[in-house]
């Protein structure tokens, strides 16, 4: 009687966290995010110093 009212949905999406799905531990994922953000910030700083800081047209246009 109870099994007739309970319907199991086999087509639902099983969602798991990134640590559960992959072979990486949480520390490896955190280290990857930290290192990649340092690389991104380094490239952004280099771009700012090379192209934006030394360009008077850009500084006038945006009043920096």
* Tens-digit pLDDT profile for residues 6-53: 666 666 555 666 666 667 777 888 899 999 999 999 999 998 888 878
- At residue 16, the pLDDT reads 61
- The better pLDDT of the pair 5, 34 is held by 34
**Is 80 exceeded by the pLDDT of residue 60?**
no
Q: Are 3 and 9 in contact (CB under 8 A)?
A: no
Query: What's the whole-model pTM score?
Result: 0.56
Given its phi and psi angles, is residue 15 left (phi above 0), alpha (psi -120 to 50 degrees) or beta?
A: beta
Residue keyed to tokens 């360009």:
55
Tell which wins on pLDDT, 11 or 60.
Answer: 60
Pair 1, 8: CB distance under 8 Å? no
- What is each CA distance from 12 to 4, 8, 9, 21, 27, in whole angstroms? 19, 9, 6, 17, 30
């Amino acid at each position: 009687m109870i099994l007739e009212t309970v319907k199991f949905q086999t087509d639902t999406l099983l969602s798991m966290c990134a640590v559960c799905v992959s072979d990486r531990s949480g520390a490896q994922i955190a280290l990857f995010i930290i290192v990649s953000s340092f690389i991104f910030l380094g490239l952004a700083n280099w771009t700012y110093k090379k192209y934006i800081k030394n360009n008077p047209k850009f500084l006038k246009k945006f009043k920096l």
